[in-house]
Amino acid sequence: MRIAFAGTPAFAATALQALLDAAFDVCLVLSQPDRPAGRGQQPQVSPVKRLARERAIAVLTPHSLRVERAGSQAEQALAQLREASPDVLVVAAYGLLLPAAVLQLPRGLPSPTGKVRAINIHASLLPRWRGAAPVIRAIEAGDTRTGITIMQMEEGLDTGPILRMEAIDIDPQATAGTLTEELARLGARLIVSTLHEMALGNVAPQPQPAQGVEYARKVEKQEAWIDWHERAERLAARVRAFDPFPGARSRTGGQTIKIWRARATKSPTGKLGAGAGVPGTVQAIDADGVVVACGEGSLCLQELQRAGGRRLPAREFFARTPIAVGARWGTPEQAEDAD
């Protein structure tokens, strides 16, 4: 079986490695162009591109595969994909929309409903969380289960028939980073077994349910700002959902601080002083962290990071950055108003 593979981040590289380990013939790889990253903003090679180079597999990095957008660059990529003559295209977190010309190009694998030419490894239990950020949105929403869907691709956004699906429980302490790693391993195992079954014609695509559709919109950096008027449980989920990107944040004492670990708790008892229940107000500081009032309940901040610093446990962080009971946290605008 000849496979063309399209993917970019570590999640996709895990699947590509599994295909190579299973001795599939990966004849061509598509990945996004090198992007500036880090403090120096130097171009960084994607994990998929790096792995493909290590295994001496040809790699294409077009900015788009739509001829009307990328012109000759897209035409050249399509020609090389056509020349590679894959049986199937496997896609995992590629990050670019694939036009019909690409989806219909492979020869196809047999199924009871016709040829399957393009397959996607999607990190949710479709139809819940179609779109760009399924892992983040699942944690943010407080979902207790997620999984991997292996789906037949079509032009719609994650709307294609389901080939295989496997669910897992979401650990209550999981971050987007740790859950993505777990799902990457599951997706890698599932794509290998699915392809083996498809080679025998044993997989029948099933339409997605019409009910339960949710869209996992792309995460914008401005979402990272904590709104202390929300419930503490909701904010704790957002802290985990935004780890490692973009990192939940708030502002106090004239500086922006990222919050990497936090837990919902009840408001402290005893004398708190005037205004202690106002959302964003520091209610208590102890060995476990700093307790901040929310719209409902309180949030105990346990791991934090200053700009240019590193992640630190609360006790070590506040030894270097003193914050008093009664201090206010908020967005830059709210912090200015509090000052």
Q: Where are the domains of the chain?
A: 2-216, 222-338
CATH number of the structural domain 2-216? 3.40.50.170
Residue 70's pLDDT band (cuts 50, 70, 90): confident
Give the pLDDT score at 323.
Answer: 87
Which pLDDT score, from 0 to 100, does residue 164 have?
A: 98
334, pLDDT greater than 80: no
Nearest 5°: CA angle at 312, between 46 and 331? 80
pLDDT higher for 6 or 325?
6
The DSSP symbol for 104 reads T
Distance CA 288, CA 237 (A): 18
Distance in angstroms (rounded) separating the CA atoms of residues 255 and 42 = 27
Average pLDDT over residues 33-54: 88
Per residue in 215-266, pLDDT tens?
A: 999 999 899 999 999 999 999 999 999 999 999 999 998 899 999 999 999 8
User: Bigger pLDDT: 42 or 290?
Assistant: 290
pLDDT score of 145 more than 90: yes
φ/ψ bin of 219: left (φ > 0), alpha (ψ from -120 to 50), beta (otherwise):
beta
**CATH architecture assigned to 222-338:** Roll (3.10)
How far apart CA 256 and CA 233 sit, in angstroms, is: 22
Q: What is the dihedral of CA 308, 50, 216, 210, to 10 degrees?
A: -170
Helix H or strand E segment including 21:
helix 10-21
Task: Identify whether the C-beta of residue 105 lies closer than 8 Å to the C-beta of residue 187.
Answer: no
Average pLDDT, the chain: 92
